[in-house]
A and B are shown apart, each in its own frame.
Chain A
Amino acid sequence: MNTIFQLAWLIPILPLVGFVINGLGRKTLSKTLVGIIGSGVILISFVISVLVFLQIKQGHTDVIHYFDFIQLRSLSIAVDFKLDQLSGLFLLIITGIGFLIHLYSTSYMHEEDNKDFAKYFAYLNLFVFSMLLLVLGANYIVMFVGWEGVGLCSYLLIGYWFRNSDYTNAAKKAFVMNRIGDLGFLLAVFWLISKIGSVSYDQIFLSANLAKLSVFDITGITLLMFVGATGKSAQIPLYTWLPDAMAGPTPVSALIHAATMVTAGIYMIARSSALFSLAPITQHVITIVGLATALLAASIAIQQNDIKKVLAYSTVSQLGFMFVALGTGNYVAAVFHVLTHAFFKALMFLGSGSVIHAMGGEQDIRKMGGLHKHMKITSITFFIGCLAISGIPGFSGFFSKDSILSGAYEYHPFVYAIALFTALLTAFYMFRLYFITFTGKFRGTHDQEHHLHESPLAMTFPLIVLAILSIVGGYIGVPASLGGHDELSIYLSPVVKSVEQSLAHETEYVLMGLSSVLVILSILFAWVKFRNYKNALPTTWLQKVLENKWYVDEFYQKIVVEPVQSLSVFFNNVIENKIVDGIVNGVGKLVNYSSRQLRWLQSGQVGAYVLLMVLGMLILFFIQLFL
């Protein structure tokens, strides 16, 4: 075995160690020490990940066995790590961006109490541990351990300010929604176990084992897995938790709810691409759901006024894009977009954190404006992020989005049209956000204006690094039509293969040109409209519907929560108390009642006893003589 690979277990264990130290020492350790431990362990993990990645890049891959989790005659589950191209790439994203966000947090969270500060870092480290477990696992069980683990950390971090009951409610919602998805994932795993008898990727993706699955099996398994992915990656119908999850501290939103955890669903499907490629029906479903989510979330984002909510819906929308890529069989493009999205979305979340920090906790963009003057680094990096997400040629988002769009075009022009429209909406709402926040006149209070300042280096440094990555990150996947080699898909080819693209270069040029021109137009439109933004209430009905997020939450409340609630009340009040317990108590009461009645026979009147005796004897005679 490779020497570096022998160290692979350290990658997830180090954050766990950080979690334990920070968690136990939350009362004794100083903030500086907590910050150093918290970020340091991630940095070391990152270094090891880079070394591992370099090995993988040279073509070394391995499955490392640690110990048996469960070993039965008919089932064996091992704790194994798989080091291959896909997990190597995700390792870099998680530890790299994770480190930057830890660094950022040391400054952002500095005003918290000592204890809470340590708690925050402990949770963040635990999250990184779970996420690493998720991508490193060599079977679905280890993945599931990480999968639920990140859900747990998300729950803990959303509810970080636990005194606020809205926040804890959002945390609960996130966990429960994720659990619904998890049930789908679990059922898929059970199905795999019952058909193949194994959970390890290497076993399942053997063609001999895949042949054991009927079309129905594969479709069912992949659909259930997709249900799992909709929970974690916030797709219709389980997406509503993600915008609410913005209740957590902003760096958490950047790390968990934009860059890493929500891409777990993408990772899972890319990992299982061998299965999904065999299930065309599932792929249709994924495409449709992804497309619908992208469009719905983008439309909502247009009318949101909370800076983080806009970014949240934008995340949901971008995740929808990734699912479109997965559905169209364009797995590499999905992974590519995960990567670039991690850069620019983390950048924008951290940027928004910087803004919120400067505004003293204010998140409503209607009360901002003209911030460019006061915080140049934040503003410029945010602008770069907006350009990247909009897909302006040359920025990272352009390449990944173009790859998704051309795949969609090949799949079906209609899919392409919707996706392109969504991309235009994306550019529009992102620049709406940018212009309202950073240009025009300041609309906040006087105190806030006085307080405005650029954030400290620990916060701006990650912004700058991420901004650079948002620009150059796309160059690892330059398509052949633009003279590149598409290195990403070559790198990933041993694990994940997209369907072959057969578009002529000319067509691709036309598509690229079309999208670029339209995107620029839509940015200009946003500039005209929001350059000098003045507060205005929504006027048309469409704006109101969008501002209220299509009333989806209310719909769920009516269609799911309330029926379950009333069913429970019915169970409790009627079935439990009246029927089941009624029968049990009824038996008791019956015995009681009959004794009370029979007691009258014991009247104490001797005559009555004798009369009964005589009657009894007469009856016996009667029976004896006549029957």
Chain B
Amino acid sequence: MSFTKVILGTVSALAMTAVAAIADPAIIYDLGGKFDKSFNEAASNGAAKWAKETGGKFREIELTSEAQREQALRRLAENGNNPVVMTGFAFASALDKVAPDYPDTKFVIIDMVVNQPNVSSVVFKEHEGSYLVGVAAAKASKTGTVGFIGGMDIPLIRKFACGYVQGVKATNPNAKVIQNMTGTTPAAWNDPVKGGELAKAQISQGADVIYAAAGGTGVGVLQAAADAGIYSIGVDSNQNYLHPGSVLTSMMKRVDVAVYKAFKAGADVKPGIQVLGLANGGIDYALDENNAKIFTADIKAAVDAAKADIIAGKIKVHDYMSDNSCPVE
């Protein structure tokens, strides 16, 4: 097996892929991996839904190292995949570098804004959804104390916390909100043990509804809440099914919808910034048979009223990331 043979073989293989290149969409998952029960998995579900509906094919790739971000982007673009969707803000600098080299390829980045003529940036109004679950938490709480457990301490998660506190305070101005962040490193997204400990600490301080915005860490929070017989609130995906009767509701960030829409638009994805919020169904709260009993008509009425007011613009929920501060504590 000589080296020249290797080269010849690869050249011919490359030539073949160049011919076979079709504008299939593609998705790159972040280092957390495809099956993280949260953000990346939601994206994967959106892609799967598109494939099921259209019968189309798509390429997906998981990363194992930072250097592969750029490598994967270039490979997909050179392979003719269009659009190329990526989940997570960590892709921003790699995309900013790669996008100008492939002007005919459309890139879609979720959770971050990248200003390039062929990039569509999808961001969510998480503060609106967090406000709604804050209203629900205040309504459901008997002690007047509710909790928030975030994942990694970054502005994005503070945005969740700030919206939540606003919703709680708007419903019950005397309510107390206990806030904790799990950590300051990406490991904080996947530390269910610590999540459970934080939840127990909050419960001992009187919290009887806890909102977990912490990726995989939230699984531990929800478990601790179920064990203690109090309510919890899930995040990103609909997590009501995890502990029926304990998970009050879930703040749904429809990453799946974003991916689905991008795949459906194909190469005609519009560049620029897309904001998904309550008004266009990109953000919502979850109501299904698992929480129908505990999510009472009283709570539902209050939450739906707040939802209508936010959509109508009557309630303005402050976005933490607009000025890196929160008006309420």
A binds B: no
Chain A residues within 8 Å of B, Cβ to Cβ: none
